[in-house]
Structure 1
């Protein structure tokens, strides 16, 4: 990606500075949102090194506005520069939650991915419970229940509310135990 060089990029309407400015502007717009910070931390695509390199490039090329103009009293550049530290804090929370779920009961684990479910749903065609993200991804490739091959659409899945409530209570209990130990 970073080694990509194109002769006469304008010929192809490829404007890397403009593209980088637009992307960084979008990231700066969401930098103060905890949900965005958390999703960056969880995505698996975030690279602190690449982010630092991007910040240096933005400064060097003066791509983002440095004048204080946002609602938060920070410039676009300041907001963008604050993002790595926010993501680092969220990463700690993500790691803590992952550590808490290591000994989760099997019923809380996705049967296909063996990961802790965040949004369990019931598949009415097989009566299996699976994480919504797993079945959504599966149905993009194959419109059948993975357990019995019957036709299935995402509209047919039913939230497993009772299980979700038990999972939330279990997580709160685990967090309280960890807090009590600190």
Structure 2
């Protein structure tokens, strides 16, 4: 469901950060067998989630857009662990490497897009996630009403900002190429 893609991506990114990130050394229990605590198996299962959901371009974009927990070094650490302990097949490792590259490209595109848009007007920013809203709705608890026409205004604003950035880049490129004397 498109409504939850960003949240799922944030959840798996956060969990991957917990499993292989800087704080992973804190993941210890006194009796791992008693609690069925197997970090390598857990990592393998989360790689399954990435590989299965990685067929969706929207998921790829959502992972890369996750400003809180998306960290390329976590994916590199996961690859290193998977390879070092032969947790996954060579085919799975290759698929994961290709997926990591797709995340990297999506992040570069998202960063460029964010730079093109500049500062987001307060009325377009999600008050909870501090991100640009894509489909504003009524909040269930507060019953705060957000005009559905705001969506069209956001789309228009994004298109205008992207066009301005595109024109600015084209102008800058043309100025660099201008070698006329005078």
1:37 and 2:24 aligned: no
Gaps of 5+ in 2: 1-22, 171-182
In terms of fraction of residues, the more strand-rich structure is 1
Task: Kindly provide the CA deviation profile for residues 12-32 of structure 1, in whole angstroms up to 9, marking residues without a partner as x.
Answer: 211222211111122122334
Give aligned pairs, total.
Answer: 145
Deviations 1:125-161 (A, max 9, x none): xxxxxxxxxx4xxx6xxx3x3xxxxxx3xxxx66633
CA contact (8 A) 1:31 1:82 kept: no
Q: Which residue of 1 aligns with 2:162?
A: 175
Q: 1:103 offset after TM fit, Å? A: 4.2
Task: Decide which of 163, 166, 174 is 2:153's aligned counterpart.
Answer: 166
- The TM-score normalised by the length of structure 1 is 0.65
Specify which of 101, 122, 137 is matched with residue 117 of structure 2.
101
Length-normalised TM-score, structure 2: 0.65
Given the superposition, is the C-alpha separation of residues 19 and 103 from structure 1 closer, same or farther in structure 2, using an over 3 Å criterion? closer
- Secondary structure of 2:24's aligned partner: coil
Q: Please name the residue that 2:75 is paired with.
A: 51
**Which structure 1 residue ranges, 5 or more long, are not aligned?**
67-74, 124-134, 146-151
1:91 aligns with 2:107: yes
Q: Specify whether residues 65 and 158 from structure 1 end up closer, same or farther in structure 2 by C-alpha distance, changes over 3 A only.
A: farther
Secondary structure of the residue that 1:46 maps to in structure 2? coil
